[in-house]
Amino acid sequence: MNRRLAVLISGRGSNLQSIIDAIQGGAVAASLELVISNRTDVAGLERARAAGLEAIVLSPSDYPDRDAYDAALADLLRRRDIGLVCLAGFMRLVGRPLIDAFPNRILNIHPSLLPSFPGLQAQRQALQHGVRVSGATVHLVTSELDNGPIVAQSVVPVLDDDTVETLSARILVEEHRLYPEAIRRVLEGDWLIEGRRLVRRRP
């Protein structure tokens, strides 16, 4: 598999940092070719530039509609010969033009044990529901929101006195371990999709 990665962000970029660190430390055999943000002035862009990476802002307001924006993203990623696209706190729905350009080649990380609590404020949803465990999920991106085949998950217990902030912080620690590991698995395996499941093809 083409090991040229792009990471798409919208903010803080702590998951981006964990991917940068894993590649630099040799835990993930890949090259991070490009970081794209849909927002200007976010900390993730600074992290990318500090690591010597190309970091580009692609602003949705410069495009007439969602499809045009996603087509521009796809075009940019194709021109850089990207093999795997990693969404890391990219807070936009990804549409057909991008999904079709990179079928089963887009990963996302989400702060819950999917399929529980998709969408926004997953940690708040978990607390409101009263679940005793939550966690993080890395999955393939499909046209269904937060519902593609699962690559990896990690469980985080919910404590009696947890707030959104404390639970989010503990989940984030797990995310930083999980995402590089999931990327490594995807790059090294020969995968096929059976129903909703991602299954390793045996040689």
Establish if 180 lies at the interface with ligand GAR (CB under 6 A).
no
- Nearer to ligand GAR by Cβ, of 69 and 168: the residue is 168
Establish if 14 lies at the interface with ligand GAR (CB under 6 A).
yes
Q: Which sign does the torsion angle of CA 31, 37, 40, 42 carry?
A: negative
Is the omega angle on the peptide bond into residue 149 within 30 degrees of 0, that is, cis? no
Q: d(Cα 95, Cα 43) in Å, to the nearest integer? A: 25
Establish if 13 lies at the interface with ligand GAR (CB under 6 A).
yes
Q: d(Cα 142, Cα 167) in Å, to the nearest integer? A: 27
Residue nearest to ligand GAR (CB): 89
- Pick the binder of ligand GAR from 4, 12, 66, 177 (CB under 6 A): 12
- Encoding tokens for residue 63? 């495009």
- Nearer to ligand GAR by Cβ, of 109 and 150: the residue is 109
Residues 117-146 that bind ligand GAR (CB under 6 A): 122
Contact present, 89 and 37 (Cβ < 8 Å): no
Contact present, 191 and 1 (Cβ < 8 Å): no
Count of residues of this chain found to bind ligand GAR when the rule CB under 6 A is applied: 15
Distance of closest approach, residue 194 Cβ to ligand GAR, in angstroms: 25
- Pick the binder of ligand GAR from 88, 107, 158, 178 (CB under 6 A): 88
Establish if 89 lies at the interface with ligand GAR (CB under 6 A).
yes
Establish if 166 lies at the interface with ligand GAR (CB under 6 A).
no
Question: Hey, which residues are catalytic here?
Answer: 110
Establish if 3 lies at the interface with ligand GAR (CB under 6 A).
no
Establish if 35 lies at the interface with ligand GAR (CB under 6 A).
no
Distance of closest approach, residue 42 Cβ to ligand GAR, in angstroms: 8
Bridge-based pairing of strands 55-57 and 191-194 is unpaired
Q: d(Cα 76, Cα 108) in Å, to the nearest integer? A: 19
Q: d(Cα 154, Cα 172) in Å, to the nearest integer? A: 11
